Amino acid sequence: MNSEPKRLIISLVAVVAVGIGGLALSRIRPAATQAQEAYAPVIRPADFVGRVDNRYFPLAPGTTFVSRGAGSGATETMVVTGETKTIMGVKTTQVRDREVNKNNELIEDTYDWYAQDKNGDVWYFGEDTTVYKHGKAVSKAGTWEAGKNGALPGIIMKKHPQVDESWRQEYSKGVAEDMAQVLGTTETVTVPAGTYTNCVKTKDWDARHPYPAEYKYYCPDAGVVLETPAVGLGRTELISIRHK
């Protein structure tokens, strides 16, 4: 889900990241139209399962994903903690995402919560973000939790994403309104972690201010392996995946 900083992006340019938002379980009309429509996903705890094994966004407990901004030296480490949090009655999987700069100084420390429904779609239920500067916490910008203050979960990745389909990835008015649109499902991507085929390429943006956008590549059995701004320089690449 970053104009109020989030997560997998460590780019050479300040990319106002990345909106997403969108409808959950439907094939979509134009994304711009969707962002203006009423958003009211129906969340039933019984519709969710106790694991996240979507092939494009797998979150097996104990897995560690390490990404790095090419040129910037900033590193992001995402760990599936094995802990859970119940949100809107749904048991979610907790992920901790820490970003440090090239001097190993902490920039951001975030806890994200995800859950997978019976259709295999992965929902995003919120994040607790702390931004650091010179070793001190300076902001909680971008923090939100579904079910509080009108916030609602969105979808991070579907089991069977279709080209031109779009959806909300998160919704907390004025705080988190990210959206994504599928641009391709057969992409080949090479990063330090390896070469991946049949990847899903999405365009992500913030519905409040759609530009700049960014591209993300979700690859089978790996998740997000590459992020690039739609305009300008910058590249965040997956360096490694470690399984416990």
Q: Give the residue with greater pLDDT, 27 vs 74.
A: 74
**Residue type (1 letter), 139:** S
pTM for this structure? 0.85
Structure tokens at 127: 């994040």
* Cα angle 222, 17, 160; round to 5: 40
The rounded distance, in Å, linking the Cα atoms of 86 and 89 is 6
Residue 73 — pLDDT band, cuts 50, 70, 90?
confident
22: its two tokens: 């969108």
pLDDT per position as a tens digit, 113-152? 999 999 999 999 999 999 999 999 999 999 999 999 999 9
For residue 147, the tally of other CB atoms under 10 A from its CB is 15
Tens digit of pLDDT for each residue in 202-239? 999 999 987 889 999 999 999 999 999 998 888 999 99
| φ, ψ of residue 36 in degrees (nearest 5) | -90, -10
As a whole number, mean pLDDT of residues 62-77 equals 94
Among the four given CATH numbers 2.40.360, 2.60.40, 1.10.8, 1.10.357, the one describing domain 31-242:
2.40.360
pLDDT for residue 244 is more than 90: no
Assess whether pLDDT exceeds 50 at residue 161: yes
